[in-house]
Structure 1
Amino acid sequence: MTTLADLLKRRIATTGPITLADYMSEALLHPEHGYYTTRDPLGATGDFVTSPEISQMFGEMIGLCLAQAWMDQGRPNGVLAELGPGRGTLMQDILRATKGVAGFHDALALHLVEASPVLRAAQSARLPNPTFHADVSTLPDAPLFLVANEFFDALPVRQFQRDGTGWRERMVGLDSDTLTMGLSAAAPLALLEHRLADTKDGDIVEVCPALPAIMGQIGERIGTHGGAALIIDYGDWRSQGDTLQALRGHQPVDPLHAPGTADLTTHVDFEVITQSAAPARFTRITPQGVFLERLGITQRAQSLAQSMSGDALESHIAAHRRLTHPSEMGDLFKVVGIYPDAHTPPAGLEP
């Protein structure tokens, strides 16, 4: 049987090395062999677990945050959207938590941006009549209340290594019959001219080609029509270093081994996210744990714990810790809010 590795090797042998972004695109979204197009990657039987799968409390906090932003902006008719909704767990918890917010469900139509046919099926089974989009460009021009949890980390990136006043691009090529990383010839790069001031020879910078356009469209809708976006992911301000990682069965593996069978991610550059969101405003980057605590997750955890005992209670306590503690997901994951110029930031975040 022909594998994706076979197809990539033939392509490279014919046309030469490919960018890391091209490799990631094929590995994640190839129509026949791509990671996201062929499987449900989430949960204990998958390759990784996200915050919504750890505890319902995560989605509840997000839902109430978006509902508060909706009320603060006058309860407009518009869109409730999620980028990369996984199995639909986060949106299911958002909808349940906001069921008691008068008018919220009636005012906001549910729209999901999802490329995976497998995950679209899971979302359709769990959520009420979602409208699907292949990308953000077809979301309606209307007030937009949006969440993106671990969406941007899966977007393909290119990697550049500093060489004097120029840059070499890290490319995927062949060594005999094995996929391997190599370097292009050094050349000046206008895209990274500003990074000459804070890098040295050998440093690696990652660039996500799709990110500015996606955030630009989100920022345009929110800045023009109103709404709010919560971007939650691991990363920091300004890309630095090789952050590419692959997970299979919850264990790290070689990103170039058996493409299409492992999840590929990189750390998110929050500087690019915020700078691409004009004309909307952006908040300070806030650790996930701090954000959730400000929204009241500990009080919610204590309330839920009153009806629990034994193993269920221990699991509940562990889930709260995993979401909020600095040594777990609390500091690794960051949150940034996008909001209109004339309004206050989403709850839990600061301008």
Structure 2
Amino acid sequence: MTQALARILAETIREQGPISVADYMAAALGHPEHGYYTGHDPFGLGGDFTTAPEISQMFGELIGLWCLLAWQAMGSPERLVLAEIGPGRGTLMADLLRAAQIRPPFAAALTVVLVETSPALRNRQAQTLAEHKIAWVERVEDLPPGPLLVVANELFDALPIRQFERRGGLWHERRIGLDPDGGFVFVAGPQTDRTDLPAEADDGAIVEIGEAGLALAGWLGQRVADTSGAALIVDYGHQSGGIGDTFQAVRRHRYHPVLRDPGHVDLTAHVDFARLAAAARRAGARVDGPVSQGLFLSRMGLEERARMLMQMATPEQAAALAAGARRLIDPGEMGTLFRVLALASPSLPMLSALDVPQGSSPP
């Protein structure tokens, strides 16, 4: 192991024993000096992965339309905090704010705040959003008071998870230690007496719990319950909790060994929407959805927006617009893997495009 962060983690394991998957993931992604997101921009074709805002401007525009409708449902307050957590390059927010201009009083009401810890990404966001007045904070707790709308696209999948493995009929926390050659390896940790794990499961079964994500969902749920507002969460994962190992790494748009090159690869795990919804409800919020991303975007008018843009486009641009729309909503692409969930003040009406189809049930 030649990388600095790998050496730091290995030394921690030698001194303190195996570490949790959550600790490994938190360091690999967020170490203040060597973390994956700390010093570089991983987005787009030249990076490691591509998110929906980078695929098509229509994604951010329709999120902007949803925010406009939510603002109207809130009674069109004259002042509103619009926050994005984990805003990437700022592409989604730029498209959102352009769409906001269709209703000038809405655009004028906005105080835009980005929740970002990475200096490199803050610089990129400042360039993308140079025409707008933007503020930055490092924690959601530092968001200004008052009515609030929050957008979080592909955020929760990158928050640390803990893993638990069934061994001998008992649950043990899965940890990361060192093999005889000094490489990282999964090892069995201590038995756990958690009551939120399945009572019955086969040996070898793995359950993932994203405590950081649940804490954030609870905070957001309480904030929108206490003051008028809503949060829109878009991510990939399970409709309801299940058993399985979804911890994965990506580098240059390809899967990568999950315990190799910490700090140089993206680490994610599927989001458990049932647990997120439950955490927000316990905090007092109403939960709308989840629905598939394809259904949400179609209900918000993706096809109509695509046709409108294509009328003014060159043939090459029209083909790119059609390809982008297809990738966002097609069941074989992002349409069903990604889901959309809203947390809202109980006093607000059902928010647009998030009623669960008949025959389905929310978590």
TM-score in terms of structure 1 length: 0.95
The one-letter code sitting in structure 1 at the alignment partner of 2:141 is S
Higher helix fraction: Structure 1 or Structure 2?
Answer: 1
Structure 1 residue 129: Cα displacement: 2.9
For the Cα contact (< 8 Å) 2:3–2:261, is it kept in 1? no
2:355 is the alignment partner of 1:346: no
Aligned position for 2:22: 21
Q: Which residue pairs with 1:326 in the alignment? A: 331
What's 1:303 paired with?
308
1:235-287 deviation per Cα after TM superposition (whole angstroms, max 9, x unaligned): 01214211011111101100111111000000001112111113110012100
- In 2, the alpha carbon distance for the partners of 1:150 and 1:106 equals 27
Q: What is the identity, as a one-letter code, of the residue corresponding to 2:184?
A: L
In structure 2, list runs of 5 or more residues that go unmatched.
Answer: 357-363
**1:273 aligned residue:** 276
1:108-137 per-residue CA deviation (whole Å, 9 max, x = no partner) reads 211111111110111122222322121211
The reply to whether residue 337 of structure 1 matches residue 342 of structure 2 is yes
2:359 match: none
Q: Which amino acid aligns with 1:312?
A: Q
State the one-letter code of the partner of 1:95. Answer: L
* Cα displacement (A) at 1:101: 1.0
Residues 129-181 of structure 1, C-alpha deviations (whole Å, 9 max, x = no match): 32212121111231111110000000011100123553111111000211111
SS of the residue 1:210 aligns to: helix
Deviation at residue 190 of structure 1 after TM alignment: 2.3
Matching residue of 1:167:
171
Q: Are 2:286 and 1:285 equivalent residues in the alignment?
A: no
Q: Which residue of 2 aligns with 1:91?
A: 93
**Matches of 2:134 and 2:6, distance apart in 1:** 35
CA distance in 1, matches of 2:310, 2:193: 55
Corresponding residue number in structure 1 for 2:47: 46
Q: 2:143 aligns with which of 114, 131, 139?
A: 139
Q: Which secondary structure state, in structure 1, belongs to the residue aligned with residue 333 of structure 2?
A: helix
Compared CA separation, residues 217 and 255, structure 1 to 2 (3 A): same
Query: Could you say which residue in structure 2 is the equivalent of 1:213?
Result: 215
Amino acid at match of 2:152: A
Describe the SS at the equivalent of 1:184: strand
Moved over 4 A (4+): none
Name 1:6's counterpart in structure 2.
Answer: 7
- The amino acid of 1:25's aligned partner reads A
* One-letter code aligned to 2:92: L
Residue 149 of structure 2 is aligned to residue 149 of structure 1: no
Indicate the residue corresponding to 1:251 in structure 2.
Answer: 254
Equivalent residues in 2 for 1:71-110, closer than 5 Å: 71-76=72-77, 77-110=79-112
Give the C-alpha shift of residue 2 in structure 1.
5.4
Counterpart residue type for residue 281 of structure 1: R
Corresponding residue number in structure 2 for 1:202: 204
Please give the TM-score of this superposition, normalised by the length of structure 2: 0.92
- Provide the alpha-carbon RMSD of the alignment: 1.5
Q: Secondary structure at the match of 1:329?
A: coil
Q: Which runs of 5+ in 1 are unaligned?
A: none
129-138 or 328-337: which moved more?
129-138
Tell me, yes or no, if the aligned pair for 1:338 and 1:345 is still in contact at 8 Å: no
Size of the alignment, in residue pairs? 348
CA contact (8 A) 1:245 1:265 kept: yes
Residue 132 of structure 1 aligns to a residue in which SS?
Answer: strand
Query: Is the contact made by 1:142 and 1:221 (CA closer than 8 Å) also made in structure 2?
Result: no
Determine helix, strand or coil for the equivalent of 1:326. Answer: coil
SS at 2:199's partner residue? Answer: helix
Once the two structures are overlaid, the 10-residue window that deviates more, 101-110 or 266-275, is: 101-110
Note if contact 2:52-2:59 (Cα within 8 Å) is conserved in structure 1: yes
> Taking every aligned residue pair, what percent have the same amino acid on both sides?
45
State the distance in 1 between where 2:320 and 2:3 align.
43
Residues 99 and 204 (structure 1), Cα distance of their counterparts in 2 relative to 1, 3 Å cut: same
Question: 2: CA distance between counterparts of 1:70 and 1:108?
Answer: 10
- Structure 2 CA distance for partners of 1:323 and 1:196, relative to 1, 3 Å: same
The change in CA–CA distance for 1:316 and 1:241 in structure 2 (over 3 A counts) is same
- What corresponds to 1:61 in structure 2? 62
CA distance in 1, matches of 2:333, 2:259: 27
**Letter of the 1:114 counterpart:** E
State the one-letter code of the partner of 1:272. Answer: R
Question: Contact 2:146/2:228 (CA < 8 Å) preserved in 1?
Answer: yes
- The answer (yes or no) to whether the contact 1:81–1:113 under 8 Å persists in 2 is yes
Alpha-carbon distance in structure 1 between the residues aligned to 2:342 and 2:207: 24
Q: Give the distance between the partners of 1:10 and 1:228, measured in 2 at CA.
A: 43
* Cα distance, 1:200 vs structure 2: 3.3
Distance in 1 (alpha carbons) for counterparts of 2:137 and 2:215: 16
Distance 1:156 1:6 in 2: 20
Does the Cα contact within 8 Å between 2:162 and 2:209 map onto a contact in 1?
A: yes
Distance 1:133 1:172 in 2: 32
Residue 178 of structure 1 is aligned with which of 153, 160, 183? Answer: 183
Q: Which stretch of structure 1 is more off in the superposition, 6-15 or 147-156?
A: 6-15
Residue range with higher mean Cα deviation, 211-220 or 51-60 = 211-220
